[in-house]
Chain A
Amino acid sequence: MLKEPPQRITSLTRWLSRPVVDSHGSEVGTLKDLVVLLWGLHPRVSKLCIARPGEEDLYLAWEAIAEIAETPRGPTIILDRPREELTPGDLRGDEMALRRNILDKKVVDTHGRRVVRVNDVQLEWRDEGYDLVALLAGMHSLLGQLVPERPLQWIASSFGIEIPREVVPWEHVEPIETELTKARKRAVYTKLARLHPADIADIMEELNPSERAAILNGLEAETAVEALTETEPEVQAGVIQMLETEKASDMLELMEPDEAADILGDLPHAKAQELLKEMEPAEAEDVAELLEHEEDTAGGLMTTMYTTFRPETRVSEALEKLRALAGEVETIYYLYVTDPSERLVGVLSLRELMLARSEQQLHEIMITQVITVRPKAPIREVAESLSKYNLVALPVVDEDGRLEGIVTVDDVLNDLIPMIWKQRAAKKYI
């Protein structure tokens, strides 16, 4: 059993391919990998993986090391018994081989909110064992493996530059794809899940489509949906195509119908139909209706997440109903009043509702001259109406005056702002 190594802080690449010899000094093989036990904050090195020429790889417990001899080329590992007495071990479910799963792979730095490629793994000697404390990325660890340390420092100092070191503490590391993430079905990205969905979205955009799908598969459904809706539309359509149909349709069901329609509208027709078929009928119907409209018209912008009231409803009942539904509908600032055939007959604002007496009926206080748009109205017209009448939402009605949905001001802004930017950008080059 090793009491004290020559180096308290060391790195994985110094160890790899180094010779492993038994107690008689004859070579057993070369070090192929170090295995850590995934317990606690800092995983501890628990096993060695030794490559032997012409034989299977050998896993040995760390305790089998008697001594580590430091040479200029790196450490030589000396075992505590002759090769015939070595007892091979197996990789356990909570163990992870570092070279195989971490070194040279992409990981998320959840603190820096970015994706890095791991150049090296830093190990620190604590309580009679090596702990995995941090991953190394950036120029310093990269050049350090290509050029010897001294010439590197000499070049750097003669140019007066500092080669940046990037150390990512293990507590901030979320590996993207390891054997463990592949094996477990869900909720493996616990560190990543703590980030804001918008940050997860930014990180996803830095990854390949298949890695994005892996992340979504590993997150809780709610978090996954929020993160997905925050990504760029091209990314959304791409990742939905990479997911299994069942998972994809589950995610679409959890989204706002207009968001889901936007994604489906970007997919090839056959794929969109396949997903709609897989969705719950009620949700699928909402989305399918929205899909029929062009994206930059009122019909394409509107949501079907609204609620309607009857003219004879009392103010107290309306308030009651609003309170119950407030979480599910897109806006509660307007109450749309419809007759039994869903025709829009009046509207009133939340303010008017609050100011009214509770026994009043809605038809007494509602405005009957409702500002509406047709589903085919272009986005400009919708924006103009919203601005002219100072509204935060507009009802969309068909030829017979039946309410089809509502467009909220934020949906219009989302579409208008990029358009304005594009026009400005275009002007710059003319």
Chain B
Amino acid sequence: MRMPRGYKRRLLVFLTIMGPGIITASVNQDAGGIATYSLAGAHYGYSLLWVLFFTTISLAVVQEMGSRMGVVTGKGLGELIRERYGLRPAVLMLSILVLVNLANTVAEFAGVAAAFEIFGIPRFLSVPLIALFVSWLVVQGTYAIVERVFLIASTLYLLYVISAFFAHPPWGEVLRQTIQPTFEMDRNYLIMLITLVGTTIAPWMLFYVQSSTVDKGIRWKDYKYARFDVFVGAVVATGVAYFIIVACGATLHAHGVRIETAADAARALEPFGGRYASLLFALGLLNASIFSAAVLPLSTAYVACEALGWETGVDRRPKEAPGFFSIYLVMIGIGAATILWPNVPLIPIMFFSQTLNGILLPVILIIVLQLVNDREIMGEAVNSPLLNLIAWGTAFVMSALTVLLLITFIL
């Protein structure tokens, strides 16, 4: 099948700009991310901004490792784990991935429900409808087209940047808190720290960035472009997070508002959006939630099927790739059904799914570090000592925070 040259050229330019790193960054601003950043800003003001400074560096390093492994090996992370460690370890790792991604999918449907509730539409209507829509997208094979719409709509979050400026926060204070770390040995504070890192450096992102780098077919010679893309993506992801926290800090925290529902969180957009703040927030949240509700189960299904040797692909019929479509649809089904459970609290679901990300991040990170430092796999392209220090440091700090958190529960 041939396409007109002009159309495809435009498509290529688009894809060149929207590299794997930047796409990952856009997907990252999902329901869980928005909830976490909003809560961080509303409840802790600017005092957690310093975390983002370190998270940016970690995120860039971690994503760069995934991207580099994709280019050097030409294989996805799931495949690599299977080929290096064998079937059983691969299945164990896949189970962990499916578990966290399922939690994240549940969070996306919580986002869908929350966004619709701002419009007064009950979740018993909205959630099944969106679940059907997302299933239809992939089963019908129209997903690839719609993905671009989502990506463009995800720029809605730039509104937070504007809103942060309109809110006139005390910039001197904001900057001071950005570079000055603080720490409290408090249970809620520890959970917030883990969650904040977990939502920014989510385990699925490592798989996602590597697979999309592989699919793009980048040669080692051209790797510097891919690396640049990943770095830009990391800065964009944490940059948006930064302004969400500042906007929430300047509006919600300043007035002592605690976020109980999505409508509370929407008030952070008031300095810019005025009475349309709720509408803008709801649209942004809805777009991000639907997009990620499709992407997360999709990427999980891809990783699992590739590692297990099952047929994959959105361009196939469900009968040709039963495993792939089953994983996708079951994840959507469980995600939606969980939210339909009577009276589940939406904001906590979005938040705590990201805590799980943070707790399980070191597990995935340590496997990635083993692989990326394996000369048989990576040849000369193994990690430099500095990258190892940062990545191991991230894994260590996240494990330490989890241990501290456990201690607060025991004491």
| Nearest-CB residue, chain B, relative to A17 | B86
Q: Which of B1-24 contact A (CB under 8 A)?
A: 1-6, 8-9, 12, 16
- B8: contacting residue among A106, A142, A266, A300, CB under 8 A: A266
Interface-facing stretch out of A75-83, A204-212, A329-337, A396-404: A204-212
Interface centre among B76, B86, B88, B90 (most CB of A within 10 A): B86
Determine whether the beta carbon of B309 is less than 8 Å from that of A116: yes
* Residues of the B chain whose Cβ atoms lie less than 8 Å from the Cβ of A312: none
A16, B89: Cα distance in complex, Å? 14
**Chain B residue with the shortest CB-CB distance to A269:** B9
**Are B1's CB and A119's CB within 8 A?**
no
Residues of B within 8 A of A242 (CB): 217, 219
**Complex partner residue of A119 from B16, B73, B83, B87, CB under 8 angstroms:** B87
**Smallest Cβ distance from A218 to chain B, in angstroms?**
15
Residue of A nearest to B3 (CB): A233
Type the 1/0 row for A414-425, where 1 means its CB is closer than 8 Å to any CB of B.
110010000000
How many A-B pairs have beta carbons closer than 8 Å: the answer is 82
Q: Determine how close the nearest CB of chain A comes to the CB of B22; give it in whole angstroms.
A: 18
Interface pair B2/A233, CB less than 8 Å apart: yes
User: Is the beta-carbon distance between A104 and B83 smaller than 8 angstroms?
Assistant: yes
- Tell yes or no: A294 within 8 A of B by CB: yes
B68-96 interface with A by 8 A CB criterion: 73-76, 82-83, 86-88, 90-91
Given the complex of chains A and B, what is the CA–CA distance between A16 and B16 in angstroms?
45
List residues of A (172-228) whose CB comes within 8 Å of B's CBs. Answer: 208-211
A294: contacting residue among B5, B16, B76, B90, CB under 8 A: B5
- Say whether A119 contacts B88, CB under 8 Å: no
B260 on interface, CB distance cutoff 8 Å: no
In the complex, residue of chain B having the shortest beta-carbon distance to the beta carbon of A411: B2
Report B146 CB to chain A, min CB distance, Å.
Answer: 12
Contacts of B215 in A (CB 8 A): 208-209
Q: Which residues of B contact A145 (CB under 8 A)?
A: 87-88
Q: A137-B309, A233-B1, A295-B2 are in contact. Are A146 and B87 (CB under 8 A)?
A: yes
- A265 vs B3: C-alpha distance in the bound complex, in angstroms? 11
Instruction: Give A211 to B306 CA distance when docked, in angstroms.
Output: 14
Binary contact track A53-91/B, C-beta < 8 Å → 1, others 0: 000000000000000000000000000000000000000
Task: Determine if A241 and B219 form an interchain contact, defined as CB atoms under 8 angstroms apart.
Answer: yes
Specify the chain B residue showing the minimal Cβ separation from A146: B91
A103 contacts B by Cβ under 8 Å: yes
B308 at the interface (CB under 8 A from A): yes
Q: Which residue of A lies closest to B86 (CB)?
A: A104
Contact between A294 and B6 (Cβ–Cβ < 8 Å)? Answer: yes
CA distance A265 to B86 in the complex (A): 42
Q: Which residues of A contact B214 (CB under 8 A)?
A: 208-210
Choose one: A104, A116, A300; the contact of B87 (CB below 8 Å). A104
Other 20 A-B pairs with CB < 8 A, given A104-B83, A119-B309: A13-B87, A16-B86, A105-B83, A116-B309, A119-B87, A145-B87, A146-B87, A146-B88, A146-B91, A209-B214, A209-B216, A210-B73, A210-B75, A232-B1, A233-B2, A238-B217, A262-B2, A265-B8, A295-B2, A296-B5
Q: Which 8 A-B pairs have the closest CB atoms?
A: A117-B309, A210-B74, A209-B217, A295-B5, A418-B1, A296-B4, A238-B217, A265-B5
A-B residue pairs in contact (CB < 8 Å), sample of 18: A103-B86, A104-B83, A106-B309, A118-B309, A208-B74, A208-B75, A208-B215, A210-B74, A210-B217, A233-B1, A241-B217, A242-B217, A265-B9, A266-B8, A266-B12, A294-B5, A295-B5, A296-B4
